[in-house]
Amino acid sequence: MNKSQMSITKKLITTFLVAILLPMGTIGFISYLSAKKSLLEGTNKQIQNSVQNYIRILELGYNEASKGQSINAEYVNTLIHSVQLDSEKMINTKATNQITGESTPLNIEKLIVNGEEGFGNQKLINHIATKTNSTVTLFQRIPQGFLRIATNIKKQDCTLATGTYIANDSPVAQSLLKAEPYFGKAFVVDQWYLT
């Protein structure tokens, strides 16, 4: 074969390869992009479905817990017959803001619940907690908000959160100030609760 025939043969082979390989490569690349897009869309749809399912599960759990909290509130209302303040007997304590940790010395009137002192009354708290399987707090109104005078909620150091208070600007305090029950999530001392 001479040089010109080789050159024509190379040109024909090159043209043939380009004519075959270029469309095949283009089709392959388009197929890859289509498969990738389809896979991503399918994965995104699965993730969205999973998230929606988790949201539904959480909503169901929240609704059931809210029903339980309503029943617990009704039980406590039947249990507590009288609440009064004894202004002649003051208690020296300190009030610690549950958010900022700032403490203030405080004199509060003695709160009497069903004829017994409320401050530190773990007997009452433990009785309610046992019957309702809940965290329980007895609050007393102070100028800064609502002071926990008895509770079974513990701080990070495992001591009871008695002496901590919910500040007036809290959604929980806002509901209590309107004499409305509060049902929802609430930051309590150092973690979130459903209350």
Q: Are residues 117 and 148 in the same domain?
A: yes
Using CB atoms within 10 Å of the CB of residue 120, give its burial: 0 to 12 exposed, 13 to 18 middle, 19+ buried: middle
Are both 147 and 186 inside the same structural domain? yes
Pair 25, 73 in one domain: yes
What is the value of pTM for the model shown? 0.62
Same domain, 103 and 160: yes
Arithmetic mean of pLDDT, 71-99: 80
Same domain for 130 and 166:
yes
Please indicate, yes or no, whether residues 182 and 109 belong to a single structural domain of this protein: yes
Q: What residues are paired with 93 via a beta bridge?
A: 106
Average pLDDT in the 168-188 region?
86
- Residue 143 sits in which domain range? 82-194
Q: Would you say 193 and 185 are in contact if contact means Cβ atoms under 8 Å apart?
A: yes
Q: Is the pLDDT of residue 42 over 80?
A: no
Q: What is the pLDDT of residue 41?
A: 80
Please give the pLDDT value at position 61: 58
pLDDT in tens, 93-125: 999 999 899 999 999 999 888 888 889 999 999
140, 162 in Cβ contact below 8 A? no
Same domain, 4 and 74: yes
Asked if 100 and 143 sit in the same domain, the reply is yes
Which of 79, 112, 132 is the last residue before a domain boundary?
Answer: 79
